[in-house]
Structure 1
Amino acid sequence: MPKDHSRPRRVAEQIQRELAELIQLEVKDPRVGMVTLTDVEVTPDYSHAKIYFTLLSQGHPLDETLEGLNRAAGYLRSQLAHRMRLRIMPQLHFVFDSSVERGVQLSHLIEEAVALEGDKPSQEEK
Structure 2
Amino acid sequence: MQRVLVLEDDDDLRFLLCDLLVASGAKACVSVDSFEAMVLRKEQVLECGLALLDVNLGGGVPSGLDAYHWLKEHGFTGGIVFLTGHARSHPLVRQARELTGARVLSKPVNAKELMALVKEPHGPGSTS
Higher helix proportion, which one?
A: 1
Query: TM-score, length-normalised on structure 2?
Result: 0.30
Q: Which protein, 1 or 2, shows the higher relative CO under an 8 Å CA cutoff with sep ≥ 6?
A: 2
- The structure with more radius of gyration: 1
Query: TM-score, length-normalised on structure 1?
Result: 0.30
